[in-house]
Amino acid sequence: MATLPLTLTPATSLPYSRRKLFSFNSIKCCKDTNGQPRVNIKTSDNGFASFPEKSPLKSSATVRPPRPRRIILVRHGQSEGNVDESVYTRVADPKIALTEKGRADAEESGKRIREMIEKDGVDNWQVYFYVSPYRRTLETLRGLAKAFERSRIAGVREEPRLREQDFGNFQDRETMKLQKATRMLYGRFFYRFPNGESAADVYDRITGFRETLRADIDIGRFQPPGKRNPNMNLVIVSHGLTLRVFLMRWYKWTVEQFEGLHNLGNGNMIVMEKGYGGRYSLLVHHTEKELRKFGLTDEMLIDQEWQKYAKPGELSYDCLTTGPSFFAHFDDEDNKT
């Protein structure tokens, strides 16, 4: 598969049923089987005080925190499996380490991220990390984090849903060659490896992670309560296919559009940066040439241009990333009129 060597230049009231939920502070039971009154059982507040995103009373009365400036997707550095596929026959995929070059890839990636952020010309910037629990991604995170002082790192979360596509435990080289050839015939998105996953399976778990990420952004989990720092940068350290699926899910790309994408090179990144209206667009940081090399089509680029100016919650009815192929007969109708 070709790789992409990117060089990154208030609600005032609640429904009655909800008000009752918060007003109850005990459960008053009936008499027991012997006719004696049961003891009242004290309850808590259902945990709402501990989880602000679950508390309508709290979340609706406050203004949402500023969205992070960027979401930076980083592929792990070169791993032992990238240079010698036989490693997969004797080492569990989650335990495969980086090579010496891979560790250098990680440190270089951290430097590039810092340089990019410092060009903003602000003093209060920070980074927050999400990372796959595989050894090679954890090692990549440790390497790139060397570019940041402790005060610059707002936090880190290990996220299993960001793991690599599952190829089925220990791999037999000849069997994998046959399966990968079959995948090209069957289709890269839907082909499921025996005892493993398809890209469609990865899409399902990434959908769950995306909802978690959006909730984290909406409640400002990346900084202490009351902080309003708009210069937060999220960094997701994961795997090539997983990151492509993440972009597919975020921007609602079709299966055909996904299958036209290329893998990021080891240690490389792609940046979703907040545009003029507050949405994230790939065209804020990257050039059209870079994105075409990654595999974006004309329709996808038109949508990214719209994303650059649109506001969160707005819908585009002109920039359809699905393209005209679904309704080709419309062209005939236009010609008649």
Report the catalytic residues.
Answer: 76, 164
CA–CA gap between residue 167 and residue 160 (Å, rounded)? 16
CA–CA gap between residue 103 and residue 144 (Å, rounded)? 9
Residue at 97: amino acid letter: A
Residues near 186 by Cβ (< 8 Å), separated by ≥ 6?
A: none
Sort residue 266 into left (φ over 0), alpha (ψ -120 to 50) or beta.
Answer: beta
> Which residues are known binding-site members for substrate?
75-82, 136
CA–CA gap between residue 135 and residue 119 (Å, rounded)? 31
> Which tokens is 84 given?
């010698």
Q: How far is CA 121 from CA 117, 125, 286, in A?
A: 8, 9, 19
DSSP annotation string for 23-57: H--EE---B-TTSPBPPPEE---TTTTT-GGG-HH
> Which residues are known binding-site members?
75-82, 136
100, 80 contact by CB (below 8 A): no
